[in-house]
Amino acid sequence: MTHKDNSHVSFGRRQFLGTSVGVGFGAGGLLASLGLSGCTTGRGEAAVAGNTAPGTAGGSSATTTPQTVADAAKVVAQSSAAAPPIPSRALPPEPTVAQPAPLKDLHGKVAYISAASDGIGLGIARACSNAGMIVVLGYRNEERLQAALPLFTQGNPGVMPFKHDVTDRPGWAQLIEQVKAKYGKLHLVVNNAGIKTLRQAKDAKYDEWDNAVAVNFTAIYNSVAACLPHMIEHGEGGHFVTTASMGGLLPGVNAGVYTSTKIAAVGIMEALRVELEGTNIGTSVFCPGAVNTDNYVGTGTENPYRAAHARPGGGGGPPRLPMGMDPLEAGERVLNGVVNNDLFILSHPEFSPGMKERFDAIMLSTPRIEEPIPAPRIGYERVVLRCGIYEREMLHRRAKRVDYRSVKV
């Protein structure tokens, strides 16, 4: 199936319609108010999907059942049969466009990147520095830091190293204090530190699991708890980025501790977008595939192509070419995502067919509708049924973009 093949979408719609037409007028009105009335029934298509039993798409009552949700919406508009509003569930008005990028102009702004002495973090930090940002480098290993510092271009704005374990909450508070003391404000937080364990979830020891959850998931919460109040307070616009992984969208690597915590990292950034959409704090999750780092292609094997590092043992074996993305390019793509306030920063499109398989598997898990969905249930679920960030993100993605690396809007 290609990306343009929407058969999975229409399958979901068919099932949905099979339901809603049986529900009656109240549901039709609710569906219309949820923006779902554009779905059209496809009685003739019903046999295509394996789960859909013949005859379920049309509902049971032939005389009163509208053929489409749009029809049902019209009937509702002519009657007063719509479900009464529920006072405790009044919904605030929904924005029509995606949150404008709060951090459009990077020049002179201050960035903190955790685990930036190496790998993707170093690439992001170098890209920030090249874009005119003041960069605070989170690090734990002195040697790596010393090797990293000369890679920053001479004449760029300041670079301040900060020794930091991201699982340490007081450390986050100290970070904010030090950044405020030295540079006044913090604008961009990149949660880049990650545990690269290849443990399967079924084999992981307690401390391995706890450490992976603490670094790959809870550290993001820690950063928000420590930095968000400051970013809201200074009011200049801020942005949170998390370096997750393609494993966070497609858990193809057989390493459950890693993939499951990365899926979690994607989820927390989506939740934050929902929460912070109305503020001047942006949110992005970066899901790279292969980048030429120590954590090469998520294998945990040292990347033999890493610049400035000889191969272990001084060589042997055939020469190898770098196959992944350069970390600096990855960093530039992250910043492009920041200045555009992309919710998902993807850089490796070769994963999308596999992602689509995952999504299709989830969509196809929708059961055949045996009984109509009660309209009041939909009424009560409205608060969670409506998650407008994705619709707005799709509109945002349809806007023309010159490129995915430039840090200028």
Ranges within 241-270 binding other proteins (CB under 8 A): 246-257, 259-264, 266-268, 270
> How far apart (Å, rounded) are the C-alpha atoms in residues 92 and 90?
7
Q: Are 45 and 14 in contact (CB under 8 A)?
A: yes
Closest C-alpha among 355, 405, 396, 334 to residue 191? 334
Distances (CA, A) of 408 to 49, 132, 232, 236, 336: 46, 11, 24, 18, 8
Restricted to residues 181-220, the positions that interact with other proteins (CB under 8 A) are: 198, 200-204, 206, 209-210, 213, 217-218
Q: Which residues contact 270 (CB under 8 A, 6 or more apart)?
A: 285, 343, 389
Closest distance of CB 36 from other proteins, Å: 6
Task: Single out the residue of 21, 36, 46, 73 in contact with other proteins (rule: CB under 8 A).
Answer: 36
Closest distance of CB 199 from other proteins, Å: 9
Q: Which residues contact 297 (CB under 8 A, 6 or more apart)?
A: 289, 290, 323, 324
Q: Are 245 and 192 in contact (CB under 8 A)?
A: no
Closest distance of CB 120 from other proteins, Å: 15
Radius of gyration of the chain (CA): 25
Q: What is the DSSP letter of 325?
A: B
- Does residue 47 touch other proteins according to CB under 8 A? no
- Does residue 399 touch other proteins according to CB under 8 A? no
Q: What is the three-class DSSP state of 346? A: strand
Closest distance of CB 147 from other proteins, Å: 23
Closest distance of CB 281 from other proteins, Å: 8
Residue 44, judged by CB atoms within 10 A of its CB (0-12, 13-18, 19+), counts as exposed
Find the largest Cα–Cα distance for the chain. Answer: 81
Closest C-alpha among 7, 26, 20 to residue 83? 26
Residues in contact with other proteins, shown as a per-residue x/- string from 222 to 241 under the rule CB under 8 A = x-xx--x-------------
- Does residue 381 touch other proteins according to CB under 8 A? yes
Nearer to other proteins, 48 or 149 (CB): 48
Nearer to other proteins, 118 or 342 (CB): 342
Stretch of residues binding other proteins (CB under 8 A), selected from 156-164, 176-184, 185-193, 348-356: 348-356
Task: Single out the residue of 119, 194, 298, 331 in contact with other proteins (rule: CB under 8 A).
Answer: 298
Nearer to other proteins, 145 or 224 (CB): 224
Task: Single out the residue of 275, 307, 309, 408 in contact with other proteins (rule: CB under 8 A).
Answer: 275
Q: Are 348 and 142 in contact (CB under 8 A)?
A: no
Closest distance of CB 303 from other proteins, Å: 10
Q: Are 189 and 138 in contact (CB under 8 A)?
A: no
Nearer to other proteins, 156 or 366 (CB): 366
> How far apart (Å, rounded) are the C-alpha atoms in residues 57 and 15?
7
- Does residue 361 touch other proteins according to CB under 8 A? yes
Q: Are 282 and 272 in contact (CB under 8 A)?
A: no
Closest distance of CB 155 from other proteins, Å: 30
Stretch of residues binding other proteins (CB under 8 A), selected from 43-51, 108-116, 118-126, 153-161: 43-51
CB atoms within 10 A of CB 45: 15
Nearer to other proteins, 70 or 364 (CB): 364
- Does residue 378 touch other proteins according to CB under 8 A? yes
> How far apart (Å, rounded) are the C-alpha atoms in residues 231 and 177?
13
- Does residue 347 touch other proteins according to CB under 8 A? yes
Whether the CA torsion 95, 98, 104, 109 is positive or negative: it is positive
Q: Please work out the total of residues on this chain that contact other proteins, with binding judged by CB under 8 A.
A: 132
Task: Single out the residue of 60, 221, 307, 309 in contact with other proteins (rule: CB under 8 A).
Answer: 221
Closest distance of CB 373 from other proteins, Å: 6
Residues in contact with other proteins, shown as a per-residue x/- string from 66 to 105 under the rule CB under 8 A = -----------------xx-xxx-----------------
Stretch of residues binding other proteins (CB under 8 A), selected from 105-113, 125-133, 182-190, 392-400: 392-400
Q: Which two tokens stand for residue 387?
A: 């998650």
- Does residue 151 touch other proteins according to CB under 8 A? no
Region of residue 315 (left: phi > 0; alpha: psi -120 to 50; beta: else): left
Closest distance of CB 29 from other proteins, Å: 14
